[in-house]
Amino acid sequence: MCWRVGTVPPSHNRGFAALPPAVARLAGALNAELVAAEARRAEQVPSPDSMHLYFQGLAWLNKGRNPGNVAQARLFFDRSLIADPENIDALVGSARVDALEGGYSFVPDPRAALAAAEVKLIKALSSVADHALGQMCLEYVCIATKRAAQGIAECEHALALDRNLVNAHSLVGLGKIFVGRAEETEAHVVEALRLSPRDSLAYLWMTNAGLAKLHLGSWEEAVAWCRRAIEAKRSHPNAHFWLAAAITNLDQRDEARTAVQVGLALNPSFTVSRARAAWTAMSDDPTYLAGLEPVFEGLRMVKRRVGSVSRAACKRR
């Protein structure tokens, strides 16, 4: 089940003490600088309330999508919910953590994490039906759980109401990969970047464009997009992994090995087998599944090489 933008008016809203509720929600979705400023202010509060803790969790998410940052965000969102179980923003934040842990295979059972995210998001949207960030997150969960066509349809409905919903453009682009139409992804990413070229989430859109190019076997273009993503946010492990897969297919093994090492430093729990299992479980589309093979084969080859080099270095010591 996915919820549509504006289907029911919000029943209630809770905001940060210094900001109107609508501004607080926009800060969470769009303005990383404002979030960081509010988080720094919250750190100085002797007895933080629920929204102080919420903004600190949000600031950790904005630092980059790697296991350490996501785990820190969870701590703050959980504390925020303990302080105020009715804080819908914190509930959506907790769901985002679940969705990220599932979508990026940070946990051994990604499907359980995505299911937990969906339960929280449905609960949140039952109270605040027009919570844009919650709706976008639920649409991501749909895309990552074999319901990409449904997630795309919901995003397109949202865009019919407001063409400037930048994250909806990016999610449609991601969803197109899962339905075997990766050739359409780049146009959605380009449109999102046109609307918000300095967006704090632009690195994710660029990474998705790189992944789409990998699915198409366009190695040089995949490299270009992944490098742009890394320049925008060096702490995002998947950009380094997808870069490694592309470079391996171009036979540049030394550079690919370096990219994998950087990715593993950011996400030490990454394994090719776990990632393959998680990503193949996200869609049954045959074109999508076929496109995954060169990605993970490239990573398997270079990661095996990284392991061999590491073992040799240990023996020399």
Q: For every residue of 86-101, which 3-state class applies, written as one string?
A: CCHHHHHHHHHHHHHH
Q: What percent of the chain has pLDDT over 90?
A: 69
The answer to whether 99 and 119 are in contact (CB under 8 A) is no
Question: According to the model, what pLDDT value does residue 1 have?
Answer: 43
Q: What pLDDT shows up at residue 298?
A: 86
Sign of CA dihedral 29, 30, 32, 34: negative
Residue pLDDT, tens place only, 130-189 = 888 899 999 999 999 999 999 999 999 888 878 878 889 999 999 999 999 999 999 999
3-class state of residue 206 by DSSP: helix
For 56-70, what is each residue's pLDDT tens digit?
999 999 998 999 999
pLDDT band at 20 (very low <50, low <70, confident <90, very high): very low
Interval 75-110: pLDDT, tens: 999 999 999 999 999 999 999 999 999 999 999 999
| Cα separation, 72 vs 63, whole angstroms | 11
DSSP string across 214-248 = HHTT-HHHHHHHHHHHHHH-TT-HHHHHHHHHHHH
pLDDT at 15: 36
Q: How confident is the model at residue 305 (pLDDT cuts 50, 70, 90)?
A: low
Q: What is the pLDDT of residue 7?
A: 35
- The answer to whether the beta carbons of residues 97 and 70 sit under 8 Å apart is yes
Q: Is the model's pLDDT at 308 over the cut of 50?
A: no
Query: What is the average pLDDT value for the chain, to the nearest integer?
Result: 86
Amino acid letter, 138: L
In degrees, rounded to 5, the angle at the alpha carbon of residue 188 between the alpha carbons of residues 70 and 290 is 75
pLDDT tens per residue, range 211-243: 999 999 999 999 999 999 999 999 999 999 999
Q: What tokens appear for 46 in the block?
A: 């002797």
Task: Tell me what pLDDT residue 306 has.
Answer: 62
240-299 confidence digits (pLDDT tens):
999 999 999 998 888 999 999 999 999 998 999 999 999 999 999 999 999 999 899 888
Nearest to 177 by CA among 138, 201, 157, 205: 205
pLDDT for position 80:
97
Quote the pLDDT of residue 315: 44
Looking at residue 33, its pLDDT comes to: 82
Tokens 């690195």, residue located = 203
Instruction: Check residue 8 and give its pLDDT.
Output: 31
In the chain, the amino acid numbered 268 is P
